[in-house]
Structure 1
Amino acid sequence: MQTPSAAATPSWTVGDVTVHRVDETPLPPATGPWLLPDATPDVVAGHDWLRPDFADRDGVLHIDSHSFAFVVDGLRVLVDTGIGNGKERANPAWHDLNTDYLDRLTAAGFPPDSVDLVILTHLHADHVGWNTRQANGVWVPTFPAARYLTARAEWDFWAGYAMEEARRQMFRDSVTPVERAGLLDLVDVPAEGARIAPGLRLLPTPGHTPGHVAVELTSRGETALITGDCVHHPVQLAHPAIGACVDIDPGRSEATRRALLASLADTGTLLLGTHFAPPTAGRVTTHGAAYRLLPVPAA
C-alpha cells in the first residue's frame, strides 16, 4: 500500500483556514438503497447534475466515510472520526475494517498526538469509530491530547435510550473509553449555536439524532458548513423530504434540512458533506422549487 502524501490530501480554503478531507473508505453501492430508501433510481435519474460524481447512470448513490481536519484559532480540530479499524459492527460494511485512515490523517499534517479538539456531530457508529484504537487488547483514546466534544442533548438522549446490543458495543469500544479517560466534554448548544472558538461554531441540527450538530467555520468573511448527517447526500438538496432510515425523528430531520438549505442557498457558503463522495464540497443554489449543489473541487 502506498503511503498517503500531504500533496494528495484534498483541501479547501475558507479565508485563512484550510480544511482537509481525511478519507476513510467509500461505502458499498448497497448503502444508498438502505440509508435513503426514497432516493430510488427513478428519483436520482431526474437530476443529471448528480452524475457522474454523486451517482452513476443506474441511479446508484455514491457515499463515502471521511473526516475533516483544520486549524482555527491555534486549535487543531478533527470533525467526526469515521468507522474505525477492527470494530465489531452489525453492518458488514463497517465490520472489522483495516484502513490507512491514521496514515492519511498524519499525511494531512494532523498526527494523532497533535489533535487538540475532536468534534462529534453525533454519536453514531460511523462518526465515532476512530475515537479509539486498540492497544494491548484494550480500546484507548486515539487522540490522547484532545478534548472530545459533543452536544449535551446528544449524550443525554443516548444515556436514557434502551440500546440494542450493537449500539451498546459501539459505546463500549468507541465512547466509554473516552469518557473514562476524562476527555469527553458536553456542550450546551442553544438555538443560535455554541461558539467553541473564534470562527468555530456548533449549530443545532436535530432530527437525525436529538443532539445532532453541524459545524460552521468563518474566516475573513468566508463561511463553510460541515453537515454531519443532517444531509447525507446531495440528492436531498433536490428532495429535502428524503430522509434516512436511521433518523430518530424523521419529521424534525426534514424540517431541519429544509431550514438549513434555505439559510445556505445562494449565500456562497461552502457546504462540506460528511458522506458526500468527491468532489465532496459545493455551494447550495436555488434550483426550481428546491436546490442543487454547485461542486467546488478540492485543491
Structure 2
Amino acid sequence: MTTSPAGEAAALPSWTVGDVTVHRIDEVPLPPATGPWLLPAATPAVVAGQDWLRPDFADREGVLRLDSHSFAFTADGLRVLVDTGIGNGKTRANPAWHDLSTDYLERLTAAGYPPEAVDLVLLTHLHTDHVGWNTRRSDGDWVPTFPNARYVTSRVEHEFWSGYAMDEPRRQMFLDSVVPVEEAGLLDLVDVPADGTDVAPGVRLIPTPGHTPGHVAVRLGSGGETAVITGDCIHHPVQFADPAIGSCVDIDPERSEASRRALLGSLAGTDTLVLGTHFPPPTAGRVIGQGDAYRLSPVPAAH
C-alpha cells in the first residue's frame, strides 16, 4: 500500500523517485486495433524479433498493448498532474475515445488528488487523448475540471494549433477541452528552450518536438533520483528497439525520430526511471543499450 498526500491509503500503482511518489492514474486500456493504426511499422514480425516485449507489452500474436493514463505526484507541496487523458462524455471520431464513462476522477481522488486540490496540470501536447479531462460537464457546459490549477503547455504548441487549419473533430476537441481553460484564465504558455525549463521545484519540461511542434517530456528530480514522463515522444517500448518506428499522426516524422533517439541516448545506462504515457503495465523502467538500439528494463509498480 502507498499513502497518498491526503493521508489516505490507496492501492494504486506508484513508483518512488527520491522523496516523491509518482502515481499512475488509469483511464482505459486501448483496444488491440490501436497498435496497427498508431504504429504501422511495428508489424507482428518486428515485434516477434524482440522477445522482451512479451508478454507485458505485446501479446503472442505480436499485437501491441497500449493504455491511456496520467501521472500524479507532489513536488515541493504542489500537487501535479501530467496529461489528462481522453475524458468522459466527449464526442470523438475515434470510437475508442467516444463518449467514455470511466472512474478516472475517482482514481485520481483515491490517490490523494481530488480535482479542487490539483495545483498544476502539465500538458505534454494538445492532442485529444492528453487533454480530455481538462474539462468536465457542469450544467450543460464544459468547465475546467481543476479549477484551482494552472494548466501549462508549450507556447510553440499552442501557437501551432492556433494557426492550424483543423479538421472538425480536432476543432471540436479544442472547443470542449482547451478553450474553456483559456476562457477561465487558467492556461499558462511557457517558452521551452533547448535545455528545458523548470515549472516547479524539481520539475522540468524538456523539448521533444516532432510528434507535435511543441511537444515536451517531463523530468522529475528528487533526492538525487530522476524520472522522465515521455508523453508521445515514445508511444510504446517497441520504439526502444527501433526508434525509427513513428506514429501515423506525427506532424514531423523525422524530427520525432530525432527527439526519440536523443532522449533514449541520454537515458541509456542511467538510473533514470522512464514512465510511458501509453505504456501498459508495468509502464515504467530503465533504458538499456542493446546493439545500436535499446530495450526497456521494467520496474514494476508498488501497490
Whether TM exceeds 0.5 here: the answer is: yes
Q: How does 1:1-299 map to 2 (within 5 A)?
A: 6-299=9-302
What is the rounded CA distance, in whole Å, between the counterparts of 1:15 and 1:106 in structure 2?
23
Q: Which runs of 5+ in 1 are unaligned?
A: none
CA deviation map 1:233-282 (0-9, x unaligned): 00000000000000000000000000110000001100000000000000
How far the C-alpha of 1:6 sits from its partner, in A, is 4.6
Structure 2: how far apart are the matches of 1:6 and 1:264? 32
Structure 1, residues 120-151: CA drift from partner, whole Å, max 9, x if none? Answer: 00000000000000011100000000000000
SS in structure 2 opposite 1:195? strand
Counterpart Cα distance in 2 of 1:120 and 1:197: 14
Letter in 2 for 1:105: L
SS at match of 2:10: helix
Distance 1:278 1:7 in 2: 18
SS at structure 1 position matched to 2:296 = strand
Question: What amino acid sits opposite 2:176 in the alignment?
Answer: D
Distance, in Å, in 2 between the alignment partners of 1:120 and 1:144 is 16
The amino acid of 1:192's aligned partner reads: D
Aligned partners of 2:244, 2:9: CA distance in 1, in Å? Answer: 38
5+ residue gaps, structure 2, are 1-7
**Paired letter, 1:121:** T
1:204-234 CA-partner distances (Å, limit 9, x unpaired)? 0000000000000011110000000000000
1-structure distance, mates of 2:10, 2:20 = 17
Query: For 2:10 and 2:139, how far apart are their aligned partners in 1?
Result: 33
Q: 1:7 offset after TM fit, Å?
A: 3.1
- Cα distance in structure 2, aligned partners of 1:207 and 1:263: 17
| 3-state SS of 1:143 partner | coil
Classify the secondary structure of the residue corresponding to 2:23: strand
1:162-194 CA-to-partner distances (Å, cap 9, x unmatched) read: 000000000000000000000000000000101
Give the Cα–Cα distance (whole angstroms) in 1 for the partners of residues 196 and 159 of structure 2: 18
Counterpart code for 1:157: F
**Residues in 2 aligned to 1:42 and 1:20: alpha-carbon distance in whole angstroms:** 34
Q: 1:221 and 1:196 mapped to 2: Cα distance? A: 18
Query: What amino acid maps onto 2:58 in structure 1?
Result: A
Which residue identity lines up with residue 279 of structure 2 in the other structure? F
Separation in 2 of the partners of 1:7 and 1:58?
A: 35
Q: 2 CA distance for matches of 1:213 and 1:99? A: 27
Cα separation, 2, equivalents of 1:286 and 1:268:
13
The sequence identity of aligned pairs, in percent, is 79
Q: Which amino acid aligns with 2:198?
A: R
- Counterparts of 1:198 and 1:179, CA distance in 2: 25
Note the C-alpha offset of 1:197: 1.7
* Cα distance in 1 between the residues matched to 2:9 and 2:118: 17
Instruction: Supply the RMSD in Å over aligned alpha carbons.
Output: 0.7
2:195 maps to a residue whose letter is E
Letter of the 2:104 partner, please give it. Answer: Y
SS of structure 2 residue aligned to 1:94:
coil
